[in-house]
Amino acid sequence: MKLYVLVVVACTHLLCRAQEQPFTDAIYQTYETVKEPSLDKRRIKHRQLAPLLNRYRKDPRFTVKTVGHSIEGRSLELISIGKGDTDVFLWSQMHGDEPTATQAIFDILNFLGNDAFQAEKEAILKNLKLHFLPMLNPDGAELFQRRNRLGIDINRDALRLQSPEGRTLKKVRDSLEADFGFNLHDQSIYYNAERTPKPATISYLAPAYNYEKDVNTVRGNAMKVIVFMNDIIQKYAPGQVGRYNDDFEPRAFGDNIQKWGTSTILIESGGYANDIEKQQIRKLNYVSILSAIFTIAQGSYADIGLEAYEKIPQNDRKLFDFKLSNADYKLLGNTYRMDIGINRLEVNKEDYDSFWYSSRVWDQGDLSTYYGYESLNAEGYTITPGKIAPKMYADPSKLSERTVMELLKEGYAYVRIKNIPLKQLSSPFPIHMISNQYQLPTFDIAVGNNPTFFLEKDGDVAYAIINGFLIDLETGQGNFGNAMIYR
């Protein structure tokens, strides 16, 4: 009799797993029908959520409750749906500049509120009760910064609970006694899957609940769901999954929520080539989280082996925005072979709704074990400094793309502008704008300096690197963002 029961259970799990793949494929293919259009940029503000929350307040299938307030008084809302006995709690934007999963949460809510996939939604909502806290740190989100108004990292406040946001998270978790928890973050885009050039587009962790890193049933269930999610991501972003180090951090919420009995799954959204606003990564969050919710509802995660968790490559941090290799660099009469790693740092504009780039040399020397989203093997090319164009222009409107390209081909990286508008923060052309009084510093390739120079071969200028952006001077092609203004 026991053998019969085991066979039936095993077959049920296999049947459920077989049903999950078509569901995953279908929600991936139909994603645009549920994508929340009002959240199409990363710099999301609390006020943008109000009309979305009102939509779900009016829908009798959902419950929306104010469960707390931030230091500056912004409300923290919990959106719940479902009638099942298993509680699943998802919280996002604990760090104000980590909004990718916040967008995905509203995509999932749109999915749950529309008329498609009725059978799958019935299975989910009959077996689970889902709870979403989409923005835990609205004050940080207002300034697109990691920390809250008190200047602390909420994710290191699980013991002291000095922040109202941390107290709210603890209160909600305890009131639900949630069976599963999804701790949703963004990580640096410069993480890669260990020993590969591929970005860690999604990274996972089943946090340890003690220093010994023991695996009990609670943590083991989190590992199983992660293995399931990894299999999904591998289909759409093969090789682009990493696994966080699981050293126990006694102050962290994820580690403690695991300790308190909720199977906790950390998801970190990293980088993806040519996805500045992380919209493809948002889609991967939507598909993998919703699929994970479905497997939890089906119970089919239970037959997944734990050994596959350890096979997920660990996170490494060996990516640059642009890597230049094997260039010749002349210094004090000698020539050296130089690799240069360049990162394009985002600088928030005054309204914190958009940004411009101020790039830096991040590392140099032998970078043979590092990778770039964009790379160039410059063997045979010599690094040469950029010059100041001889002609002064009255204002930026006097420049054109054609004029700038001609200047670049002559080795000019800087142009003097008589009247640079005070509100203008960056140059839209691939040439730096400088004031009449600005003195160009001595050229030096050094960590922390702005990467602006040319690559010459046989006396001809072939490439320009302006503010860390590569321009092919023969074709005029380049993935350019902006140049700098020096007053």
Q: What is the pLDDT of residue 18?
A: 53
Domain range 9-316, CATH class: alpha beta
Cα–chain center distance at 285: 11
Closest to 376 (Cα-Cα) out of 331, 419, 322, 429: 322
pLDDT digits (tens, 9 = 90+) for 135-148: 999 999 999 999 99
Q: Quote the CA–CA distance of 416 and 376 in Å, as a whole number.
A: 30
CA max distance for the chain: 92
**Segment 166-195 mean pLDDT:** 98
Closest to 95 (Cα-Cα) out of 202, 184, 163, 182: 184
Average pLDDT over all residues of the chain = 95
**Segment 380-407 mean pLDDT:** 97
Closest to 137 (Cα-Cα) out of 70, 50, 52, 183: 70
Please, are residues 324 and 378 in contact by the beta-carbon 8 Å criterion? yes
Q: Quote the CA–CA distance of 279 and 269 in Å, as a whole number.
A: 11
Q: What is the pLDDT of residue 439?
A: 95
pLDDT digits (tens, 9 = 90+) for 306-361: 999 999 999 999 999 999 999 999 999 999 999 999 999 999 999 999 999 999 99
Q: What is the pLDDT of residue 2?
A: 38
Q: Quote the CA–CA distance of 232 and 217 in Å, as a whole number.
A: 23
Asked whether residue 482 carries a pLDDT value surpassing 90, the answer given is: yes
**Segment 465-486 mean pLDDT:** 97
Provide the β-strand partners of residue 457.
Answer: 460
Q: Quote the CA–CA distance of 43 and 74 in Å, as a whole number.
A: 17
pLDDT digits (tens, 9 = 90+) for 228-279: 999 999 999 999 999 999 999 999 999 999 999 999 999 999 999 999 999 9
At 297, is the pLDDT very low, low, confident or very high (cuts 50, 70, 90)? very high
Q: Quote the CA–CA distance of 184 and 266 in Å, as a whole number.
A: 6
Closest to 300 (Cα-Cα) out of 4, 20, 3: 20
Q: Quote the CA–CA distance of 350 and 369 in Å, as a whole number.
A: 38
pLDDT digits (tens, 9 = 90+) for 181-203: 999 999 999 999 999 999 999 99
**Segment 458-478 mean pLDDT:** 97
Reading the block at residue 283, the tokens are 């889609």
Please, are residues 471 and 464 in contact by the beta-carbon 8 Å criterion? yes
Closest to 127 (Cα-Cα) out of 137, 117, 119: 119
At 9, is the pLDDT very low, low, confident or very high (cuts 50, 70, 90)? very low
pLDDT digits (tens, 9 = 90+) for 97-138: 999 999 999 999 999 999 999 999 999 999 999 999 999 999
Domain layout of the chain by residue ranges: 9-316, 319-486
DSSP one-letter code for 61: T
Q: What is the pLDDT of residue 19?
A: 59
The values of phi and psi at residue 101, to 5°, are -75, -25
In the block, which residue shows the tokens 């500056």?
Answer: 72
Provide the β-strand partners of residue 454.
Answer: 384, 464
Q: Quote the CA–CA distance of 183 and 167 in Å, as a whole number.
A: 16
Q: Quote the CA–CA distance of 375 and 275 in Å, as a whole number.
A: 17
Q: Quote the CA–CA distance of 478 and 377 in Å, as a whole number.
A: 16
In the block, which residue shows the tokens 């096979």?
Answer: 311
Which secondary-structure segment (H or E) carries 130?
strand 128-133
Q: What is the pLDDT of residue 21?
A: 83
The values of phi and psi at residue 28, to 5°, are -65, -45
Q: What is the pLDDT of residue 15?
A: 45
Question: What percent of the chain shows pLDDT beyond 70?
Answer: 96
Q: How many residues does the chain have?
A: 487
